[in-house]
Amino acid sequence: MNTWALRALWISLPVTAGSAFADAMAPWADAPRLVATALLWAAWTAVVFATLVPRPWSLTVTRLVTPIALGAAMAALLTGRASTLAGWAAIAILAIAVGLGTRGEFARTCAQGAAYGDEERFPLKVPPGVALGIVPLALVVVASAVVVAPILLAGERWALGIALLVLTSPLAFVTIRLVHQLSMRWVVLVPAGLVIADPLTLTDPVLFPRPHIMGLGPADPSRRPPDGACDLRLGASFGSCALLLDDDAPIIRRVRREGVTIQANLLLVTPTAAPLLLERARARRIHVRTE
């Protein structure tokens, strides 16, 4: 239902928010106004397509574009040229779109869109340090490279536009790659057992066969993991799950772009829909504990 609400809100933007952007850009010269208008339509088209064809890349596009669009709506309101009603309506609709498009049901829909056969994919939560620190910076960098620099160049502000483009383009590439990695972090239920795929913490997905799973259940976020546990939560402790194995399993952790092999029989992860994960794991004959 949330995915359909996101689609409806985003498709409505030309009507509900278009006037606010048009009024804000009205005094601009023709060239920068045309570039900004083209960028707005490109952003709108990209997210429409992403919501209609949910895949991991769709989540990446939505996580990048919707917050940048919200920032643009705030900037349009601050110009004082857009009507107060139109400006706040655009901000409200885009704020809801950001909430629907960057977490919850839409993230799982995108993950499931790339599933093979009898798989069920459950996204992992974005680490709080990344969500509050790196992602906002990434949005500023991408917006500077993709939005601000082209508008400056169209307005013939060559020195500032070229400098901004040269400085931010390499960083934008790196940050887009990081945001996409956040879209590729999953716990996957497969016929053979359970897979953890997390390019931020593991070099490769790891399969844990059902016969070797002693239990899967909620983890107490207030308790420190025991020594020897493999903690893949990256600070996202609330709603986390613990996977207990019957023996140590080899796990290749990603440490400074290199793989380091460790042995662990307890792993900690934080899926976005832990209760649903446990329910579906039980249905697949994985032993699920409630405490």
Angstrom distance (rounded) from CA 205 to CA 77:
45
DSSP category for residue 8: H
Q: Report residue 33's pLDDT band, with 50, 70 and 90 as the boundaries.
A: very high
Q: For residue range 224-274, what is the model confidence (pLDDT) as tens digits? A: 888 889 999 999 999 999 999 999 999 999 988 789 999 999 999 999 999
Torsion of CA 261, 263, 265, 270, to 10 degrees: -30
Q: How far is CA 257 from CA 23, 195, 201, in A?
A: 47, 21, 10
pLDDT in tens, 177-232: 999 999 999 999 999 999 999 999 999 999 999 999 999 999 988 888 888 899 99
What pLDDT is recorded for position 291? 65
The pLDDT value recorded for residue 3 is 92
* Partner residues linked to 243 by β-bridges: 216, 267
* Single-letter code of the amino acid located at 130: V
Cα–Cα dist 201/253, whole Å: 6
Q: What is the pLDDT of residues 3-26, one digit of tens each?
A: 999 999 999 999 999 999 999 999
Q: What is the pTM of this model?
A: 0.93
Residues 231 and 209: their CA atoms lie apart, in Å, by 19
What's the sign of the alpha-carbon dihedral 157, 163, 165, 171? negative
What amino acid is encoded at 84 in this protein?
T
Sheet holding 230-231, edge to edge: 213-218, 241-255, 258-269, 230-231
pLDDT band at 46 (very low <50, low <70, confident <90, very high): very high
The per-residue pLDDT for 52 is 96
Residue 157 has pLDDT above 90, yes or no: yes
163 pLDDT above the threshold of 70? yes
Q: How confident is the model at residue 82 (pLDDT cuts 50, 70, 90)?
A: confident
Query: What pLDDT does residue 83 have?
Result: 82
* Average pLDDT in the chain: 94
* Residue 88 identity: W
